[in-house]
Structure 1
Amino acid sequence: MSPADEILDIVDEHDQVIGQSPRGEAYARGLRHRAVFVQTRDAQGRVFVHRRTPTKLVFPSLYDMFVGGVVGAGESYDEAALREAEEELGVTGLPQPGFLFKFLYDDGAGQTWWSAVYEVRCELPVSPQVEEVDWHAFLEEGEIVRRLNEWEWVPDGLAAYERLKEYHSKTAG
């Protein structure tokens, strides 16, 4: 089955399921669905950053500081976070990512999805999926900040990153 054929739950503005649709159709018609964003850090606290392959259905060849993806029909956010993180990192036995918050992403051009943001520590050696990841590294926070204006980042990941910074600044005080 191709990624475009994966069945997704379609949700309303309150994140309640109102139907189902193949992923490709959901994207083409701008149907609201669910996604997970998992910020992954290694034992030294560095963040996993990668460049998506040019064959990705959404945001091909762009950089991302999260692993994750869409939530399948009938799947919980927590299940999707663990599944997507293990798939993209190429690991098994990852701890359950910790849920932080949820927000409604809207690109202003008809693409919108509920986005659940998680964090996880990965002390396992990673072997990212070649179908998903062209390049990867664990980067220090300062390096990511330096690259924000140099690299082209996935827009939903940037939205999650900004909200994650706000979340940490509020919970640190």
Structure 2
Amino acid sequence: MPVNDEVIILVDQHNNIIGDVPRRKMDFSKDFHRVTYILVFNKSGNLLVQKRAADKAFCPNFYGITTGGVVEKGESYIDSAHRELQEELGFDAPLESQGVFLTQGEGFNIWGKIFVCHYNQEEHGELTLQQKEVASIHEMSVDDILTNPNNLPFTPDSLDALQHFTGQLTQAKSDDPL
């Protein structure tokens, strides 16, 4: 197995860990896995939305409303969220859990955990984008994302995460999976 090949945690339809698989062998349309979704708010109350790189396997050139990614073998949701925030945007911050939800669609079966954090340039410095993943950052209000007046292509799973967050369909609980 290549050294840089991620090993992804596999879960069942109830979010119980059942094994792991190298990313290159993952069947995203069938396998359930865990993903972190971090809503990054700036001091104006808007979200920092990522335009995905053109060569991404899933939804290239779409807008990802959240920062985050797959939970790897040996990681908890919170460990994965901190790693992804540092990798994709180049900073870390305290994360608030907003609960766990199931999202499914064409090419994905995900147990996601939503986190919220706040970015302040004076405190965290300039963003450092992960070039292989993030083409650019755009500031958008939650209302503009949900009403989508410009018909932007949002990744369906991150849009689902925002809809769960705003609809308060998930609640942070002490028994949320780590």
Q: TM-score with structure 2 length normalisation?
A: 0.83
- Structure 1: 5+ residue runs without aligned partners? none
Once the two structures are superposed, residues 107-162 of structure 1 have per-residue CA deviations (whole angstroms, 9 ceiling, x without a partner) of: 1x462011001100011221211111112122233443453651111010111111
Q: Alignment RMSD, CA only?
A: 2.4
SS at match of 1:69: coil
Asked if structure 2 preserves the Cα contact closer than 8 Å seen for 1:26 and 1:32, the reply is no
Q: Structure 1 residues 43, 59: CA separation in 2 closer, same or farther (over 3 Å shift)? A: same
CA distance in 1, matches of 2:136, 2:32: 29
Query: Aligned residue for 2:9?
Result: 9
For these two proteins, the number of residue pairs brought into alignment is 167
Q: Structure 1 residues 150, 62: CA separation in 2 closer, same or farther (over 3 Å shift)? A: same
CA distance in 2, matches of 1:89, 1:56: 17
Query: Aligned residue for 2:79?
Result: 79
4+ residue stretches of structure 1 with deviation over 4 A? none
Query: Aligned residue for 1:40?
Result: 40
SS at match of 1:96: coil
Asked if structure 1 preserves the Cα contact closer than 8 Å seen for 2:29 and 2:109, the reply is no
Once the two structures are superposed, residues 1-50 of structure 1 have per-residue CA deviations (whole angstroms, 9 ceiling, x without a partner) of: 587x3101111122111111012322356211110000001122221012
* AA in 1 matched with 2:99: F
Q: TM-score with structure 1 length normalisation?
A: 0.86
Query: Aligned residue for 1:88?
Result: 88
SS at match of 2:137: strand
Q: Structure 1 residues 31, 2: CA separation in 2 closer, same or farther (over 3 Å shift)? A: farther
Query: Aligned residue for 1:104?
Result: 102
* AA in 2 matched with 1:153: F
Higher helix share: 1
* AA in 2 matched with 1:158: L
Query: Aligned residue for 2:175?
Result: none
Query: Aligned residue for 1:63?
Result: 63
Once the two structures are superposed, residues 45-96 of structure 1 have per-residue CA deviations (whole angstroms, 9 ceiling, x without a partner) of: 22101210011122111111100000001100000111111211122xx223
Query: Aligned residue for 1:23?
Result: 23
Q: Structure 1 residues 29, 41: CA separation in 2 closer, same or farther (over 3 Å shift)? A: closer
SS at match of 2:94: coil
Query: Aligned residue for 1:113?
Result: 110
Query: Aligned residue for 2:142?
Result: 141
- Report which stretch shifted further, 44-53 or 21-30: 21-30
